[in-house]
Amino acid sequence: MSGIGRPAGRRGVGGFAEGIGFCVRGLGWVARHPRWWLFGLIPALIALVLYVLALVWLGTNATGVAEWATPFADDWGWRDTFRVLVGVMIVVVGLALAVLTFAAVTLVIGDPFYEKLSEKVEEDLGGLPGHDQPFWASLFRSIRDSLVTLWYVLLFTVPLFVLGFVPVIGQTVVPVVGAFVSGFFLTVELTAMAMERRGLRREERFALLRSNMSVSLGFGVPLFLAFMVPLVIVVAMPGAVAGAAMLVRMRLAPATAPGHQTPGEQAPGDQARDTRPA
């Protein structure tokens, strides 16, 4: 583990509940600021159209994709039933990936929108942290980090997809593990803007979220499950961005917020950098 300090707070069930609380706070903030909620809907609606088209294509071609992926089953007497099951699994995994990557794609499409929304939340809470970076540098870094995060997601998703075919385990344990994995990486994506605003690099952000795993899961898992419901992801996305800004400012990296850093205290990113060997 890196040298990032762990903010004081509850862990386990208490930390999970605390993470849920930030979801509620974010939704409450956009409810009190409807203009910003409508502002945040624009990129989500654009991404929704793209994803609907992709999922419709996947749904109508799932059997063909399953047939292409299982040539070894050509001589099986029950190949049609098997390929229907494979097609269903492909659609389910595609839907899960769509839910998870929707946040990343929407954040890339709506970077200027959500950056302003996230900044407004922090301004309401007392002011922006001092670190700033040019728009294009932030955009390219966001795209690069999203691709890296997607790679990590696939490293977990592919084994879970295979385990989904195992009787009993595939229908009980795998969906639960998948929800927790997806929830964690959803938190990674949503908190990226507020953490970048504090000068935290990707490695430092991952370390900070891992060291606060229960809170990270408490924030991301309910959102992931809610986003599985059609259109909820579009309506709730602005609130998720607002809640992520609050989570970073008030729980994960409070020392970097204006008025919170005590004399001689280092921000988490500085601690991580200072403790690395020269």
Q: Decide: 138 and 115 in contact? Cβ < 8 Å.
A: yes
Q: What pLDDT, on a 0 to 100 scale, did the predictor assign at position 266? A: 43
Q: Is residue 265 part of a domain?
A: no
Long-range CB pairs of 112-115 (<8 Å, 24+ gap) are 113/39, 113/40, 113/42, 113/43, 114/40, 114/43, 114/193, 114/238, 114/241, 115/193
Rg of the Cα atoms in the chain? 20
Q: What pLDDT, on a 0 to 100 scale, did the predictor assign at position 260? A: 54
Q: Is residue 34 part of a domain?
A: yes
Q: Is residue 190 part of a domain?
A: yes
Q: What pLDDT, on a 0 to 100 scale, did the predictor assign at position 177? A: 87
Question: pLDDT in tens for each of the 278 residues of the chain?
Answer: 333 444 445 667 788 999 999 999 999 999 999 999 999 999 889 988 998 898 888 888 888 888 888 778 777 777 778 878 888 888 887 877 776 677 778 877 887 888 899 999 999 988 877 655 555 555 566 666 666 666 666 677 777 777 777 777 777 888 888 889 889 988 998 998 888 888 888 888 889 999 999 999 999 999 988 887 768 878 998 999 999 999 999 988 786 666 554 333 344 444 444 433 43
Q: Is residue 275 part of a domain?
A: no
Residue 195, domain extent: 22-44+110-253
| Number of Cβ within a 10 Å radius of residue 63 | 16
Long-range CB pairs of 253-260 (<8 Å, 24+ gap) are 253/7, 253/194, 253/195, 253/198, 253/200, 253/208, 254/7, 255/7, 256/129, 256/131, 256/198, 256/199, 257/122, 257/125, 257/126, 257/127, 257/129, 258/126, 258/127, 258/128, 258/129, 258/130, 259/126, 259/127
> Of 213, 219, 254, 250, nearest to 18 (Cα)?
219
Q: Is residue 57 part of a domain?
A: no
Domain count, the chain: 1
Q: What pLDDT, on a 0 to 100 scale, did the predictor assign at position 149? A: 66
Give the pTM. 0.71
Q: Is residue 93 part of a domain?
A: no
Q: What pLDDT, on a 0 to 100 scale, did the predictor assign at position 272? A: 40
Q: Is residue 71 part of a domain?
A: no
Q: What pLDDT, on a 0 to 100 scale, did the predictor assign at position 76? A: 78
